[in-house]
Structure 1
Amino acid sequence: MKQQIICSTCGTYYPFTSFPDSCTICSDERQYIPDGGQLWTMPEDLHQKHSIKLNKITEHLYEFEINPTFAIGQRALLVLSERGNVLWDCIPMLDELTIEFIKSKGGLSAIGFSHPHFYSNMNDWAETFNCPIYIHENDAEHVMVKGKHVQFWKGDEVTLWEGMRLILIGGHFAGSSVLHVPFLSNQGSLICGDTLFLSPSKKHFSVVWSSPNRMPLPLSEMSRIKERFDSIPFDAFYGYIKTQNLTKDVKKVFEESMNRYFL
């Protein structure tokens, strides 16, 4: 595998020839370059200073986190199913213990993404488990390394297996998507990244153009997104970090949250 370099702010991997002036992802107004300037690290340095923490959420749902937190600090979510497991979003690190655990559960049949901030080292994960990476074609321009496993899907949704669906939402990015898993809860669970953001109080959802830069979306876009979510049955929500789990009154919280934008 070719030598790679990692943006320390967002965790995106780039092929390493020389140190770029800036990360393309962080230069976009939805992300940021820190006050101290662009910083880079190497995969071997990341492995020396960090490890991967595994947590069981339910019998069929696990999370992987980098410990201590690195870059954006997102988690990757592993959905287990009889016909094939799905990894939702990536963390910018992969080690032998994680590989062995996933293999013990049957490997990976697919990797799906909420949006470009979490692509990180997706090609390493896909190469290790020999599985496709599903990214909506609307976000193709944000893929820094177009590996052989990347497949760009089109349209409003794609059905995987056992009723699981990749659903285009838009908003944060043109290709921002969610994974709907019908068998994780009575009405279905949303595996969401930060296409939909749950507040620390767990009493409010928001959909924004940029979370770190506090940039909202137009009301017309909010209305379209609300209609999109209204068409999806769900009673459980799992966001991009471990504090963003909600399994009670999810639709009620969502409806009340969205209605506030139109008062």
Structure 2
Amino acid sequence: MDFSPSPASESQPWDGVILCATCGVEQEAVDPAGLPAVCAICADDRQWIPAEGQRWTTVGELRAAGAGLEVAELEPDLWVLRVRAGVGIGQHAKVLRTPAGNLMVDVPTYIDAAAVQAVAGLGPLAGIIASHPHMYGVQSAWSEALAGPEGPVPVYVSEPDAGWLARRPAAVRVWSGSLAPVAGLPGVSASQPGGHFPGSVVVHWPGRDGAGVLLAGDTVGVARDRQWATFMRLFPNYLPLSGAVAERIAAHLDRYRYERLYDNFSGVLGVPGGGASRVVHHSAARHADWAEGRMDHLT
């Protein structure tokens, strides 16, 4: 489903939300004069400041330029949200549909009335959780737009990474360790294996078929051949994690049974045939061999 943006002539509540034109993360300032010199997330070595310098934009400017949201089903009860003609690094937010309410995992860098209607059409939203700070998007706006009888949708922020919040959602819930982000549904769980960020989050869900699905963000990246996984400190700037951390992440994920794994860009391990957990372990071992010099004879 491709939802056209709301007409640029129609004022919307989110039009004034300021966000970084590179990463798409919302900012606290309501006036450009209150903005920092650079986006802190982009100034970090895991991201980048464009050669032409820092630029800020607003949701209203993106809508006027033709931004919109695409919604597609990845598998039964799992949907991907892609921003078209917007900003960000091309990440794909997800919506996990459950009988107790839906969970948004990672957040679009755009919002308008048509997008809100599309996501609301999948069912009520019980929570929002980002895998790491690059994926905060306009989470405050989504939380407010899909508010229920009890107020804005809870936004779960990993405690080790909470300092990266440039705009603090009204309904923020800072957490550590493990979490059941959908009340009354312990089968959906989140934890913090770290790696890419100290508080990097994964979300596990049994899947409609019971095989187990892991939404891994950038904690585990899917290689282009979909036969291997990667473990990176810096993705755009090409710096891998150590072998020990790759193997620590694989071991952490052993608490879950998962046959399929999706990364931030809808790369998927384990389709067809399952076996994502096995791929993660083999990949971590290979990563460690190369990172620790055991394969130097091939160089």
Q: TM-score range by the shorter chain?
A: over 0.9
Shift of residue 146 of structure 1? Answer: 1.2
Deviations 1:33-90 (A, max 9, x none): 1112112212111112211111112230111111136321111101111111101000
Task: Provide the rounded CA distance (Å) in 2 between the counterparts of 1:12 and 1:58.
Answer: 28
Q: 1:196 aligns with which of 201, 209, 220?
A: 220
Structure 1 distance, partners of 2:76, 2:287, is: 36
13, 18, 39: which one aligns with 2:55? 39
Match in the other structure for 1:136 = 158
8 A contact 2:193–2:202 mirrored in 1:
yes
Q: Distance in 1 between matches of 2:254 and 2:137?
A: 31
Partner of 1:62: 79
Partner of 1:250: 276
Separation in 1, partners of 2:203, 2:267: 18
Q: What fraction of aligned residue pairs are identical, expressed as a percent?
A: 27
* Superposition deviation, residue 183 in structure 1: 2.9
Which contiguous aligned blocks of 4+ residues in structure 1 show a shift greater than 6 angstroms?
Answer: none
- Cα distance change, pair 184–176 in 1 and its aligned pair in 2 (3 A): farther
The counterpart of 2:124, out of the listed 82, 103, 107, is 107
In structure 2, distance between residues paired with 1:69 and 1:243? 21
Say whether 1:126 aligns with 2:143. Answer: yes
SS at match of 1:22: coil
Correspondent of 1:238 among 262, 273, 276: 262
* 2:179 paired with 1:158: yes
- Deviation string 1:119-171 (CA, Å, 9 cap, x unpaired) is 0110001111221011111111011111211100122x112315100111100
Q: TM-score normalized by structure 2? A: 0.82
> Are the counterparts in 1 of residues 229 and 280 from structure 2 also a CA contact under 8 Å?
yes
C-alpha distance in 2, partners of 1:41/1:244?
A: 32
The residue aligned with 1:179 is: 203
Provide the C-alpha distance between the structure 1 equivalents of 2:288 and 2:107, rounded to a whole number of angstroms.
Answer: 34
Do residues 227 (structure 1) and 237 (structure 2) align? no
* Aligned residue number for residue 230 of structure 2: 206
Q: Kindly state the Cα deviation for residue 230 of structure 1 after the two structures are TM-superposed.
A: 2.5
| 8 Å CA contact 1:83, 1:162 repeated in 2 | no
Sort the Cα spacing of 1:246 and 1:33 in 2 relative to 1 into closer, same or farther, 3 A.
farther
Question: Does residue 133 of structure 2 align to residue 116 of structure 1?
Answer: yes
Moved more, 242-251 or 90-99: 242-251
> Number of paired residues?
262
Query: How far apart are the structure 2 equivalents of 1:216 and 1:242?
Result: 21
Residue 98 of structure 1: how far off its partner (Å): 2.3
Question: Is the Cα contact below 8 Å between 1:168 and 1:176 reproduced in 2?
Answer: yes
Question: Hey, what does 2:36 align to over in structure 1?
Answer: 20
Structure number with bigger Rg: 2
Gaps of 5+ in 2: 1-12, 148-152, 290-299
Query: Which letter maps to 1:43?
Result: V
8 Å CA contact 1:185, 1:235 repeated in 2: no
Note the aligned Cα RMSD (angstroms): 1.8
Distance 1:51 1:199 in 2: 28
The farther-off stretch of 14-23 and 130-139 is: 14-23
Equivalents in 1 of 2:209, 2:196: separation in Å?
Answer: 26
Give the TM-score, by structure 1 length.
Answer: 0.93
CA distance in structure 2 between the partners assigned to 1:188 and 1:80 by the alignment: 14
